[in-house]
Amino acid sequence: MDARTMDTRTIRRALVSVSDKTGLVEFAKALADLGVELISTGGTRKALAEAGLKVLDVAEVTGFPEMLDGRVKTLHPRIHGGILAMRDNPEHLAKLREHQIEPIDLVVCNLYPFEATLAKPASTHDDIVENIDIGGPSMVRAAAKNYRDVAIVTAPAQYPAIMEELKAKRGALGLATRENLAAEAFAHTAAYDHAIAGYFAGRAGQPPDWPERLDLSFQTKQSLRYGENPHQQAAFYSEPGVPHACVATAEILHGKELSYNNILDLDSALNLVRDFAQPAAVVIKHNNPCGAAIGATLVEAFTGAYAGDPVSAFGGILGFNRDLDEATALQITEPNRFIECIIAPGYAPKAFEIITTRPTWKKSVRLLKTGPLDTPSGRKIDYRRVDGGLLVQTADVLGDEVTSAKVVSQRPPTDAERADLALAWTVAKHVKSNAIVLAKGGMVVGVGAGQMSRIDSTHLAARKAGDRVRGSVLASDAFFPFRDNVDMAAQAGATAIVQPGGSVRDQESIDAANEHKMAMLFTGTRHFRH
C-alpha cells in the first residue's frame, strides 16, 4: 500500500469560492454533514446560505470588507496565512496563534470564466480583462503548494471522489489524494495563464512575432483505444476556448468510440468542405480526399463525391458543409456501401433515423455534429511535432486564387473549365504533396497523392480517372519542374491546368499547353501539404 494513503489530514475548515457552481450545494452539504466549517465569498456564499447552510463570510474572517467591486476579498494574511501555514512547523503555528488565524484545510475554488468570456462574440476587451481572476489563482496555488497539509479542489468533476474518500476516512483525505489534487491545480492555473497570455499576444497584430518561449495548454477530451496502430497508446486533447466549429468541438451523436485515425480523417474532411460556399461533400481515406464534389443540392454533391472513387470510398469518412438531409441519407445507405464516420453541421431527423436504424449501419457508423461552419476568426496557427522540437506556422488559408489567376496560355479557360479548375485547386490544397487533382463536371475524378515525383502523381490521377479524364481539368499544388506533366495530362485528355508557376522551366510548360491547345492558369500561390 502507498504510504501516502496513510498520511491523512482531517478537514475541519473549508474555503469555498467558485464561479462554476455545478454540484456546489450537494458538495458543501456533504462537508457540513462531516462537521466542516464553511467560509465563502460573494455569490458562492449567497448560494450556500440560500440552500440553508451555515457559512461564514470572508469579511468576517479578515475583518476587512470586500472592495474595488470585488477585486479584493481573499487577498489577506488571515486567508493566505491559514492556507500556507505548515502544520509541522512550530514557528508557523506560533504565528497563527499570535495573529489569531485559524488554519484552512480545504480550498474549493474554480476561476473566473475567462475562456468562456473570450469565446463570446459580444465580449468586449474590458469584459475579457475583468474576467481575469487574481485572488482565485493565488488561493489555488497557495493550497497546492501546501498540499502536505491542505487539499485543493478545482473542478466539480472532482467532488464525487472527494466526498467518497471523506466519508470513508471519517472526514480526512490522504496525502496521495492531496498531492494528485495539487498536480491538477497547477495544471489548471497554468492553462488559465496560458489562455490569458495567448489573448494578449493575439492583440499584438499581424504577422505574429514568434515568442521567445512557447507554452501550449490542451485539455483531455478522451482516451482512445489505441493510436495509429494497436500497439500504440493514444489520447485526444482539445484546445481550450476554440470559438469555431471543428472536430474538437463536435458533438458525437451516434456510434462506436472514435479512433486516432478517425479523428485525423474527420479533421481533414471538415477542413476541406469548409472551403466551399456551395453544397459540398468529400470522401476521405487515409487522410486524403478520394472523392469530392459540389452540387446544387447536397445529394448531388454526395453522389459526385462517392462516384469519384467508389472502391477507395469503402470504409471512408464523409464530410458535408450542409445539414444532412433525407435524400442524401438514402443515397449513403444504399447496398454495398460502408462508411466509418460522417461529420456535418447537423442532421435532419429523418436522415438521422435512416442512418441509425439500417441493420448494417446502426452499429458501425459514427455521426458527428459540428453546428454552423463559420469561417474561423483571427489568426490560426498550425503546429507540427518533430523529434526534439516543434514547427509552428500560420495556417494555409485558401484565397480567391483561381479567379485572380493569370492566364499564361494562348487560350483562356472556358467558364465551365474555370469552375472545375476552382474545384480541383481547392481540393489539391488538402491532398498530400506532390498533389495532382483532376475534376470534371463539379466532381473530382482522379487524385494523385503523396508521390515522390510529380509525374508519378499525374500518372496516378489519370489512371484513377480512367475514361473520365477526357475533358477534365487538372490542378497541381506546386509548379511543374518539366513539361512532361503537361504532355501526359494532354495525352490523357485533360483540357486545362491550374498551377502556381514559378519554375525556371515555366515557359516550356506554357509552350506545351499551347501546343496541345490547353488553357493554363498561374496562381502564384503554392499549397504544399506534407
Return the active site residues: 145, 286
Give residues with Cβ within 8 angstroms of 486, minimum separation 6: 480, 497, 509, 512, 513, 516, 518, 520
Residue linked to cell 474595488: 68
- Dump the DSSP string for 139-204: HHHHHHHTTTT-EEE--GGGHHHHHHHHHHTTSEEEHHHHHHHHHHHHHHHHHHHHHHHHHHHHTT
Amino acid letter for position 155: A
In the three-class reduction of DSSP (H, G, I as helix; E, B as strand; rest coil), residue 422 is classed as helix
Burial class (CB in 10 A: 0-12, 13-18, 19+), 325: buried
- Dump the DSSP string for 483-523: THHHHHHHHHT--EEEE----TTHHHHHHHHHHTT-EEEE-
**From residue 215, how far is each of 78, 136, 177, 210, 524 by CA, in Å?**
34, 21, 27, 12, 35
The neighbour count for residue 167, using CB atoms within 10 Å, is: 12
Q: Could you tell me which residues are beta bridge partners of residue 496?
A: 473, 519
Q: Could you tell me which residues are beta bridge partners of residue 411?
A: 519
User: What is the DSSP code (8-state) at residue 248?
Assistant: G
> Which of 284, 484, 512 lies closest to 410, judged by CA?
512
> Which of 300, 363, 527, 337 lies closest to 436, judged by CA?
527
Q: Which residues of 405-437 are buried (b: 16+ CB within 10 A; e: fewer)?
A: beebbebebeeebbbbbbbbbbbbbbbbbbbbb
